[in-house]
Structure 1
Amino acid sequence: MNNQIFYKNIPSLSLLFQKLKNKDRVIIDDIFVSEITAIISSIKETLKKDILIISTEKRKDLLYKNLSSENFYLLEFLAWETMPFEDIKPSVDIIGDRFDVLNKLLKSKNDNILICTPHSLLQKVIPKTIAKKNFISLKINDIFDFETLIEKLISLGYQRSAIVSDKAQFAIRGGIIDVFPTNATEPFRLEFFSDEIESIRTFDLTNQKTIRKVDSLDIFPADEFKLIKDEKNLTTILSYLKDDYIVIFDDLYDIENSLVALNSLNIKNSQYFISFDDLLKDFENNPKIYFSEKKISELSKVTREKIEDKNFSKITFEIFNKTITGELFNHPFINFLDFLKVDKIDNILDFITNFLEKKLNIIFLTETPSEKKHIEELLDKKNIPIDKNITFEKGFLSSGFIISEINECIIPYNEITKRKIIRRQKFREAHHAPYAEYHDLQIGDLVVHFHSGIGKYLGCEKHSNHLGVETEFLVLQYAKTSKLYVPLSQAHLVTRYIGVSEEREPLTELGSNKWQKTKNIAQRQIIGYASDLLHIQAQRELEGGFKFPKDSEEVLLFDLDFEYEETQDQKNAIDDFKKDMMSPNAMDRLILGDVGYGKTEVAMRAAFKTVFDGKKQVAVLVPTTVLAMQHFDTFKERMSSFPVNIEVISRLKTAKQNKEILQNVKKGLIDILIGTHRLLSQDVSFKDLGLLIIDEEQRFGVRAKEHLKKLKKGVDCLTLSATPIPRTLYMSLIKVKEMSIINTPPQDRLPIKTIISENEDEVIKNAILRELSRQGQVFFIHNRVESIYKRSEHIKKLIPNLKAAIVHGQMSPDIVDDIFHKFKQGDIDILFSTTIIENGIDVPNANTIIIDRSDTFGLADLYQLRGRVGRWNRAAYAYFLTPKNRQITEISQKRLHALLASPGFGGGMKIAMRDLEIRGAGDILGVKQSGQISNIGFHLYCKLLKRAILSIQNKKEASFIETKMEFSYPAYLPEDYIPHANLRMEIYYRLGEGASFEQVEAIKEELIDRFGKVPKPVLELMDMSKIKIFANLHSFTYLKFGDLTLTAIRHDKNKTLQKTLVLPKKSENIDFVQKVISLLQENFDL
């Protein structure tokens, strides 16, 4: 948006500019954020100076979003989300962002707008000289001593690791350094030739592959606390601004409240904070504007001097325990809120004719084509012609206003829809994290070897193999303390064991034939079960479904109307369901994604297509009333620009209201119906149901699922889940159920800090006060109704004046809904609740959750509860409290530590798998199949079932053969090429599981990218991996390579064939792989 269009000709603003040039204090009250934006924009364009805006956590995001549409050089200086005197380290994302702002201010030749909260402004920072010494700037072709760079990274707080998986880590492989700077949104790969930087590339954290080349890279410190602790001459961010900056107080009332909350954390006694009084002295002589949404007379007693000036009057008032004297500016903006109150009009569009009659020029602000189209349609419906007095501009403001001096009326789209405004802040690039079948083994884990059975993993050792070559082995212990040494190159034969319960199967006895018998029985059962699964799938395909047409114009506009950038996973999931819907078969797809990862947006796209392209109805089934109301609000708001009739059926409505809704559903007057189990009742009848959306499937019981089976016949079905039930997880792992994984976090998401602590009053008090100091809110989960009131009283005694409320399942639904509404509006500081909040309540401002007696919850429940916080761009905390001075059970310890191990992103699948390990896989498929899972382990069972399904689909006999290969060639991953054993094990595993030559080639390209040029032993390993793929596919049980001979044994139906073939001598001129394959094909009639 070009602000010059709107503000350059406002006469009274030129008088304001003159006051600021004179370094006067100006007070502007009764003013909203959008009007403040107009004034700041005008000042920036006219005076060309740095502007410091002091705002609050409550208001800064709205102010930032308004100002960011003005295309200014806008910076926000974030505060630590922890205190320097706490044990909890601040987020590396926030540290990186802070240093990035300092660096930009150091280098900037522009005039900047800097937004700070009182917290970030009062916290001291390192001086410019120290910042320059600790900021690393690298460019291609720079000469930078390799070892010095490593030492520098360590001194800046970066941790060395085998692979870079998070910010503030670096890894070294030969002449390559991978590093994820705290200030970057993605990691970088530096390739050196001696001490010269040959290339700088970004790479994907999830698969470690290069994304693109770049020319330069800045690396900032990872440990700000160490720098400020070691520095005696600390300063504030004010020292990084140009001397004549303008100071703007965004809202006096809010800032004063923020300071009170901040002082409750005792920052006055901290060496790391400057006092607010000293801060005021620092900019005593700078020009200032004090904004206030309330009238100044509502905040303080005001003394006025009589001055004959219609624009300014001199006043004296008190704020921050100070007496302020300045000029009160009579600003030229009339807010719609005031304007419409007079005539009691709800919709601004109803007043447009009146605006036009008053000769006002109307400017509509829209951000997307669909917004513009929606306004044009609304104007057309009201018979308002679009002429020279009505124009459209691309831009955003949170509310509209009239500028009477120049006869202009600004109407942003938001003024029409009253949509919630949420700003998203980019901390990390979003890349898909695929589910990995390979898992790092921990010493003591029970494992299954494909040929030898269940053993215990004891670690890695080096020994000479039967050819006298030093080789790395996995050491597995079996019954009677027998040991099996498995070459690391055969790591794919070993998987972690998961049985049906905590009671594990006994270790296998090496040398006996019991394991082979067990495996044979399992394989026979698996072939039968695979046939059953494919039969069920075929039946569903025979039932058919509605074939939707290609996307209509409305659907394309709806997609464009999404105000954020979709993650790649969201795009993939949307493509997946659209392909399903446009096929003649009924869709049955699972959307698996973490809480807050955008599953609901995907579901809304499917619902919208059903309504507009299929002219059919949608049922949205959810487990709780709370979630039903949440979805109702979300669907209504998202589809507000389009004519979609959405309703919710719930306990919060009267019997009469629900009856009327159901009648309209039957008549086809309602497009989307949202509800709980009530949707499954006999009296619910749709005129033409096209799509069923099931949210959090794991929350529904057996009876509900039986009803669902009837409802799903011939109807497209979309299931959403964060932590899938074991059966669904299992079905998706073996690729029987169609599944789309949304494993990519939104770019503004910060990992949740998870703290396990004994039930200490001091821990609880500090956690609550920290959240309140940044104007946030707190969930406190206490899952016993009989003691929740007593618990809340105890906490309120710790922190007086706490605005608290209690909700639980025994309260009437309308009271619960009212409390939830007040909490979402910010009227409640802390919500004491049972697990009623587990699904459905979405409060971006609540970013601390404290869970009492966390040892009594299941893993999936804890994961869902933790997901209530950290849903937007603020660092969040989850406190899991355990009983004081009391030992918790081993299973509880495992659950809590599983959450500690999964603090980051995309943990839903991992949590479901870990839950499977802790509880066992007994409830997956019923007694018969669970017996086989217990006998051979969950992972091996899945592996064999996948093979069986593939064989049946390809109309081949199911083969469970794993070719054993012996060779004297140096075919391995050298330790000096891939230094870390776990990484080598992973590559061996992936090569062993490879099913095509293309996969092997892809791994080779990846190794070149990650580790540099591939040495000869690795090339030999690639060749042997390709030969093994061919051998497995054609039922060879054994291949032994001599110098010039190849012994091959093949199992063909009930025959075993053995032949010794003559091999050509290996040389660079021969395609050895192709020669071996040709020999096998010719001699075994393949």
Structure 2
Amino acid sequence: MITDSEKSAKESFLNLKAYKDFFKKDIEIIHFPSSQEKLDLLSQIERNYAIYKILAGKNWILVFSKDALSVKVRTKENFLKDIINIKKNGELNREFLIEKLYKLGYIREEFPENEGEFSVRGGFLSINIPKVGIVDIDFFGDTIENIFLKSKILTRKEIEEIFILPLYDFNVKSKTPLIFEDEESTFFRDYLKNDIYTLDIYEDLNLPIKGQFYSKFSNPEVGAIKDITQEFTVYKIPLKKELVLLNEKTAFLPEVEEKLELDVEPLKEGDYIIHEDFGIGIYRGIETREIRGKVYDFMILEYAGGEKVYVSYLHFDKIHKYKTNSIIQIDKIGGTSWRNLKKKVKESLKNIAKNLLEIYSKRQNIYRPPLKTDDELISKFEREFPFVETPDQIKAIKDIKSDFSKPKPMERLICGDVGFGKTEVAIRGIFISVINGYQALLLVPTTVLAYQHYKKLKERLEPYGIIVENLSRLKSKKENDNTIKAFEEGKIDVLVATHKILHTNLSFNKLGLLVIDEEHRFGVKAKEKIRQIRESVDTLYLTATPIPRTLNMALSGLKDISVLNTPPEGRYEIKTYVSNFDEELIKKAIEFEIDRNGQVFYLHNRIETIKETADFLKNLAKKA
């Protein structure tokens, strides 16, 4: 179906998906975006998938705007040549596959968390394939021994064959900056053949059109909401616009999203569920049975091999709805998979809880010499802060000083919104720790944040002779190794690093303070590994959104908490807007901020195309 605009194409796509789900039709609804911005990876993924479906066969409906007809894409021959077909027991050189993935635009990472990423571990390749999921390929030499499709809960299903599609419209020649190979192309219209329909198209598209539809003309069979009477059957589905069929006495109305704190969506027959005792199964409805003269309701659950379990209403609390976008493999009654998974989870939780209990029990009894907190140098450092501290910042700093003055390790959570001054509170703690003869380690979740903290700490602390360094994947291995060695020898006072430092055999000279920024983005094991190395270390957690475990520890007394509720002077409430990509809107927002002498932070999601994005912004906002 061809529409008159991209907006209309997206609305039609969503409406068709809603009708398809309602009528349970085994047909796929596909959208071919018209955006020709080379940095728009998602649109190119959708386009390649659409072309693949066109070439693969029937059972789909493709929706796109008339502008998409002129989008340049691979020729049919090149597209088929670029698809990677992997079969179990087939022969394929591993290095050739890796090189091919690079050409198709895939990025090598330690773990393929996002679509279009892959990782290599010995004879294993893990590829996060768009529209498919994470696929593990097991090589023995050049022979593909096994192919597994991994679900989001990391269960694996063995498959025989998989197709890997290109990410971009053309093969990638260079990633930074993003440059495509110069190859033969064609217009998307050349892929179209029969059964083409149009919506609100008044011009000749020079295509074999089978049917034409117009939304602006009246149809005697289609009414409005005001025409609905009690005789009508009304369905609410996620539509963009209502459809009232007068002859059929049927109305389809847009489903209004209700804001509820709990998911109260009822179970429907065919939904996947998890039973606490039996694992993943399929809900097959409710059956009423009479037992000894009394009527009882039983929920019917189907498992592998067609086996069924009848669950009494007394045990409905053991059943939970299961939602996932991955392929689901249901469990077998009497099988070991669910039992083993539960056993592993329980053992893992027990071990973590045991280790945490041991660590915090020891920390309560560990002696750490009280630190000096009223030194003249500390007062001088505080006076040089160029801004006025908020009342909550002053209280948090006093809390930290009080903790340092006690003969046991500090365990404090600093909780406050973005921009409320958590970093400055941490800097005061770092300064006090270092002038008392200790080293400080600041852990952050990302390389960018590590560099920002490094610059700020260097600016504030180096005038006092405090040596600050950082570990970064942007540095060479030799530079990082030298930094680690210097820190171990005590030549560096403050080290800023990401969680990758936890995977090194780092030994500490005299670590006194551990600061964990955005602690909610670190795993439990990662945060506790440092303290296992040195249990007497003082610890500060910085977060805007504390995870339930940390908050529970704070409320139960295992951790102390300081809350920054007071915004700095001149800071207003944050307003968040969600919108489709709109150049004009971005331009207006940037110019508004620049005109009031503000700054703009533009977040981009792929490093290899960040230069093109910067160039795009320079051209868009001339004032910046």
- Short-chain TM bin: 0.3 to 0.5
- Alignment TM-score, normalising by the size of structure 1: 0.28
- Is the strand fraction higher in 1 or 2? 2
Instruction: State which structure, 1 or 2, has the greater radius of gyration over its C-alpha atoms.
Output: 1
- Is the helix fraction higher in 1 or 2? 1
- Alignment TM-score, normalising by the size of structure 2: 0.46
